Structure 1
Amino acid sequence: MSHFGKSGPPDIRDTYSLLVLNITFRTTADDLFPLFDKYGKVVDVFIPRDRRTGDSRGFAFVRYKYADEAQKAVEKLDGRVVDGREIMVQFAKYGPNAERIQKGRIVETTSKEGGRSRSRSPRPRSGSF
């Protein structure tokens, strides 16, 4: 019952996400990719952006195919200076969705007016707007 011949995007569960903190707003996925690719097979690099302004939010996710390579990247790149900033590299606890925890709920919900008003909009939580 092996699933090795399966084509298509790699299963999220089979990859290892690193959270890269303290990058500058100028730093792009193209800047980070070669740096991390030295240590193993990078599946993708994702830099969350602010929905309104389109600016980088100052952190990134790098996904590796293999755990030992991700581990090596953490050891070699944590504390490395990139674009004048000392970056922090750690394993992302929650994969690509860690950014939701990162920014906290306060930013997302406008709970100042009414407080309980959120409960009457049972929209599926898709990040489409």
Structure 2
Amino acid sequence: MNIYVANLSWNTNSDSLQELFSQYGEVTSAYIINDRETGRSRGFGFVEMPNDEEGQKAIDALNETEFEGKNIAISVARPRTERPAGGNRGGGYGGGNRGGGYGGGNR
């Protein structure tokens, strides 16, 4: 079972996360997601537990409890959705003639 853990302290590391969940059963992996540019924790992570029953027991016991100074939120992780190739990010600045300035047009 893959478990999503949110609202982690910036100081939480993978070892302390694994230790927390191992009270409820075997933990295959535990990792914190870090910002690519700063390397700083993004405040969430994932824990993998091979036994679904133990994983659910950990979720039930730990959800909305205090861990390292923060109330953590825990749920079953949803599978990542596939993103289309090319990464259409939308948005942008509109382009085209936007006019603007003081009065615009010819005088």
TM interval, short-chain normalised? 0.7 to 0.9
Which secondary structure state, in structure 1, belongs to the residue aligned with residue 36 of structure 2? coil
Which secondary structure state, in structure 2, belongs to the residue aligned with residue 69 of structure 1? helix
Q: What TM-score results when the alignment is normalised by the length of structure 1?
A: 0.63
Deviation at 1:63, TM superposition (A): 0.3
Q: What TM-score results when the alignment is normalised by the length of structure 2?
A: 0.75
Give the direction of change, closer, same or farther, for the CA distance of 1:112–1:47 in structure 2 (3 Å limit): same
State the match for 1:53 in structure 2.
Answer: 38
> Which of these two proteins has the greater Rg computed from alpha carbons?
2
Which secondary structure state, in structure 2, belongs to the residue aligned with residue 62 of structure 1? strand
Greater share of helix: 1
1:43 aligns with 2:2: no
Please give the per-residue CA displacement for 1:64-99, whole angstroms capped at 9, x wherever unaligned: 0010010000000001101110001100011xx47x
1:67 aligns with 2:67: no
Do 2:34 and 2:41's aligned partners in 1 also have CA atoms closer than 8 Å? yes
State the match for 1:91 in structure 2.
Answer: 76
Which secondary structure state, in structure 2, belongs to the residue aligned with residue 30 of structure 1? helix
Residue identity in the other structure for 1:36: F
Residue identity in the other structure for 2:57: K
Misfit runs of 4+, over 4 Å: none
Which secondary structure state, in structure 2, belongs to the residue aligned with residue 25 of structure 1? coil
- Unaligned segments of structure 2, at least 5 residues: 96-107
- The whole-number CA distance in structure 1 between the counterparts of 2:41 and 2:94 is 31
- Unaligned segments of structure 1, at least 5 residues: 1-15, 116-129
- The whole-number CA distance in structure 2 between the counterparts of 1:53 and 1:17 is 26
**Identical amino acids, percent of aligned pairs:** 34
Q: Quick one: which of 77, 81, 84 aligns to 2:62?
A: 77
Residue identity in the other structure for 2:45: A
